Structure 1
């Protein structure tokens, strides 16, 4: 199918070919604005990629979104921070290229899409204590978007991670307070009511509001439709045309028929990572990873990375992913998203030995890296349980769909991913962990939590930890002892938001050969490229932001 009606699906020639319809749309919009003819091809039947399944936030340091509302961030401070956290795990030029083009990318989004961005103030950088780090954060979001602007193509937007029965367009900033509705009702109730009214009221007016990744991709998609840029869906990359020196186009598969697309100015690979290519994941990451636990789009199978390698492109950081701990899935189902759960007081995470092993509140990528480090050090997979009490269950949302006081699903108990007991001794036995070790762990945890400290792992010391904590708990919003049953334990798995190792690129988004030379006419952005920030996640939205910014950079370079 072609969206909108435009180039027929047959051999054709364009200036710029964009393969993938997630953040690659920024490259398409930039190229179109510069007067180039553009074609987007998308492997699946939906547009939006993994971005449409994400929280949709953007890490935009020193951007006009911040400065226009009084933010005092500077590119120099952001550069200092990136130098500190990237720590040489990626070329410094990649961070510099990103920072240089953030303001222009924001301007592009404002000119070419209906997106309205706002600063999610106080959403701390993930490592704010590092030089240049910011406790007030550099993360931005888009206001909810009415998908009715997509007209007949509204159903072609990739669905989100959660099925929502009641429309309630919730931003990340909203979620923070809605999660605390029973603890901070003066914030939670008005936020809840506002979004419920917007969602339900919008339907009465013929509007369908979405937020997060759905909202971001709806805005980008609307810009593509308005520009008349054709999108071929159900069209998969077969191979790139050209050699190790220059790429001239690509051969794609549409309905079992090969079609050749000549690209005069270049090809932008925006096909996502290798999230669901388990052969690649077991080879480069860990043989202990569960099959298809990724929250990334199911069409992400490393197509762009493999195609680049066939032409001699180098790869880097293939052991890395945007790790994201989640509730273990029911048979045949995906993992259940966890966001604030690990940070909230009245909970702790233990391994199969009944011991804590990390600061539960740390950012999700670092948490996953810690888990894999332990696996390598111990020579065995690490299993984990999040343990909490009834007060915790009465107070907070769990798994994004269980509101306070709701019972854990019986299906979780039946599948063995949840257990319940009146005391910790019985709970440990039902979890299958060594009871004596578990009791010793919880005794120490409770003693320290009573004093508001965590000398073992430092939970609650970072501004990032505290962002998703409970501000009504003093002195540490992330710590409270678990002393009164019933108690619960829910099994967790290591999921991810997508892989972030891929093709080596330079500050112009050009794909590099193994010898370091650029392949003329070939670009890679988003998770098809190796993470511009190396082995780190600087702040919420750094993955999507670099995809958009480097899409902008790639199109400008292709345009000359």
Structure 2
């Protein structure tokens, strides 16, 4: 713990006075940085032993339209275009003010991060919005990422940065932009290999120079943490929020538990809840979402159990959108442990399709992952679908593409996948259906129908490959449709379950990130950002990094509102 002249401690370190308290060390770290720049004293507490939250284990992209990074890279994006897009795809009128606020302060948030942290950002040019055909949608995209970041800047505190869930086979930083091309290493070697070598040199060469270069969520979480350290902002880990205290109609105190001691923190300007969603609170998930969800299939931080939401609820805070999450189909975990492994590009690549328990296709497999989850949950409620399904692919697919980020082309599927019923293989569609326990006649009919459509290059059943977004993760060497190819020869199936990147329903907030009571009035002094708050975009995911983007922007907004510095 570090201290500055702004922080007052009393009564033998059992009471702390600070201007702004941030609860949760994810995107909320941006609130601490913004408040510090405005001259406020800030303090960050985190329930788990790691800094970074779900941000650290995410892809690390952020979707913030018309920011300086986009402008400097030559993007033609505009706030007007982004506003048109968001108002076209978000049908929740309650979100209008927050959407406009997000757009107004987005570029200022990015500017602040460039001033207050050592991070450098780049535009993931070509990564389209998730609904690019809608008015204002962008085929070039608005997604930005942090360049590979040296976490050795954190010094000894690097041990407190939340580890990544997946590690590359060799020490190398991997960005989301890299992932697309690494996955096409066999079919686009002249594009993929130079990038792969570059990242290897950064990773292995960096280690020789005393650096540890990381990409994705590790980069942006590490960069935010480095900003806190540079600003001498204290960060307490293993510190749980126990109680919010209202004085004269305002939240300005709380009780936390730190090192087995209860500590009272007075936050004169307010408390920012950045505690994540209720990802791992299965009682809440089964109540608000579906009893069919697997236990702890969420890829969100293990500390996300709805604490901040529930404490605010005790103050009559309103909640919204609780049925939603940042849904993501994933390979089922084997019986010997581990988490589900997300399927992103895998669903878009030719030579594959998906079926449900009835042996039928049920969706455009290449659609964005949140829409995918919403579709199968709707089918489940109608009794037409179970939350387990199968990804079917052939040997050519296995020879060309990476699977789940760790199984490289031509590698065998893990033995424990076969042993625990996660994977099967067979020489014919009939034999595969028998192994999977699927209705044979229906599965064979689905198989033949998919092959027939693939030969024409047009999926008239589910329109796979008709969106620019579908094509992004397709194989550009396959024509006329980079998302379609008939399956031939040896066949494989892997079990798929519905996972998520975290819930996105939570506390109702206004355009200042203030938590609102059920009667619509603000709870003065209490803010909520990130997945603690109901999704700014209603039931929609606008583009890659929209969850991190809104968390960062409303952290900035909350800090400026607390400092009475908003325009």
Q: Which residue of 1 aligns with 2:426?
A: 421
Over 3 Å counting, the alpha-carbon distance change for 1:230 and 1:272 in structure 2 is same
Q: Is residue 2:359 matched to residue 1:362? A: no
Q: Is residue 2:412 matched to residue 1:407? A: yes
Q: Is residue 2:555 matched to residue 1:547? A: no
- Contact 1:282/1:288 (CA < 8 Å) preserved in 2? yes
Q: Which residue of 2 aligns with 1:269?
A: 273
Q: Which residue of 1 aligns with 2:222?
A: 218
- 1:224 positional shift: 0.3
- Contact 1:3/1:232 (CA < 8 Å) preserved in 2? no
- Contact 1:244/1:519 (CA < 8 Å) preserved in 2? no
Deviations 1:180-214 (A, max 9, x none): 01000110111111111110111011100000000
Aligned match of 1:197 in 194, 197, 201? Answer: 201
Q: Is residue 2:503 matched to residue 1:489? A: no
- 1:256 positional shift: 2.7
- 1:337 positional shift: 2.4
Q: Is residue 2:131 matched to residue 1:127? A: yes
- 1:485 positional shift: 1.8
Distance 1:243 1:411 in 2: 56
Q: Is residue 2:378 matched to residue 1:373? A: yes
- Contact 1:89/1:533 (CA < 8 Å) preserved in 2? no
- Contact 2:356/2:388 (CA < 8 Å) preserved in 1? yes
Distance 1:350 1:318 in 2: 28
- Contact 2:357/2:385 (CA < 8 Å) preserved in 1? no
Over 3 Å counting, the alpha-carbon distance change for 1:326 and 1:90 in structure 2 is farther
Secondary structure of 1:253 counterpart: strand
Q: Is residue 2:269 matched to residue 1:299? A: no
Q: Is residue 2:527 matched to residue 1:558? A: no
- 1:3 positional shift: 5.9
Distance 1:5 1:36 in 2: 11
Distance 2:317 2:549 in 1: 24
Q: Is residue 2:432 matched to residue 1:442? A: no
Q: Is residue 2:263 matched to residue 1:235? A: no
Aligned match of 2:400 in 395, 399, 402? Answer: 395
- Contact 1:138/1:539 (CA < 8 Å) preserved in 2? yes
- Contact 1:17/1:249 (CA < 8 Å) preserved in 2? no
Q: Which residue of 2 aligns with 1:172?
A: 176
Distance 2:190 2:22 in 1: 47
Aligned residues: 558
Q: Is residue 2:136 matched to residue 1:136? A: no
Distance 1:524 1:394 in 2: 47
Secondary structure of 1:411 counterpart: helix
Distance 1:518 1:123 in 2: 38
Q: Which residue of 1 aligns with 2:502?
A: 498
Aligned match of 2:476 in 471, 474, 477? Answer: 471
- 1:396 positional shift: 0.3
Distance 2:465 2:94 in 1: 29
Over 3 Å counting, the alpha-carbon distance change for 1:260 and 1:345 in structure 2 is same
Q: Which residue of 2 aligns with 1:537?
A: 541
Q: Which residue of 2 aligns with 1:290?
A: 294
Aligned match of 2:347 in 315, 333, 342? Answer: 342
Secondary structure of 1:472 counterpart: coil
Over 3 Å counting, the alpha-carbon distance change for 1:379 and 1:445 in structure 2 is closer
Secondary structure of 2:103 counterpart: helix
Q: Which residue of 2 aligns with 1:91?
A: 95
- 1:10 positional shift: 2.8
Distance 1:377 1:383 in 2: 15
Deviations 1:266-292 (A, max 9, x none): 000000000000010001000000000
Further displaced range: 7-16 or 326-335: 7-16
Distance 1:10 1:350 in 2: 58
- 1:456 positional shift: 0.8
Secondary structure of 1:140 counterpart: strand
Q: Is residue 2:255 matched to residue 1:251? A: yes
Secondary structure of 2:403 counterpart: coil
Secondary structure of 2:382 counterpart: helix
Secondary structure of 1:420 counterpart: strand
Distance 1:164 1:253 in 2: 37
Structure 1, gaps ≥5 residues long: none
Secondary structure of 1:123 counterpart: coil
- 1:381 positional shift: 2.7
Q: Is residue 2:442 matched to residue 1:451? A: no
Distance 1:436 1:10 in 2: 70
Over 3 Å counting, the alpha-carbon distance change for 1:166 and 1:28 in structure 2 is same
Deviations 1:143-192 (A, max 9, x none): 00001111111111000111345211011111111110100011011111
- Contact 2:387/2:497 (CA < 8 Å) preserved in 1? no
Secondary structure of 1:91 counterpart: helix
Distance 2:523 2:57 in 1: 31
Distance 2:112 2:53 in 1: 20
- 1:244 positional shift: 9.4
- Contact 1:179/1:397 (CA < 8 Å) preserved in 2? yes
Aligned match of 1:521 in 507, 525, 530? Answer: 525
Q: Is residue 2:38 matched to residue 1:34? A: yes
Distance 1:210 1:426 in 2: 44
Secondary structure of 1:345 counterpart: coil
Normalising by structure 1, we get a TM-score of 0.98
Distance 1:317 1:75 in 2: 26
Distance 2:177 2:93 in 1: 31
Mapping 1:12-51, distance limit 5 Å = 12-51=16-55
Over 3 Å counting, the alpha-carbon distance change for 1:3 and 1:438 in structure 2 is farther
Over 3 Å counting, the alpha-carbon distance change for 1:13 and 1:272 in structure 2 is same
Q: Which residue of 2 aligns with 1:384?
A: 389
Distance 1:231 1:3 in 2: 8
Structure 2, gaps ≥5 residues long: none
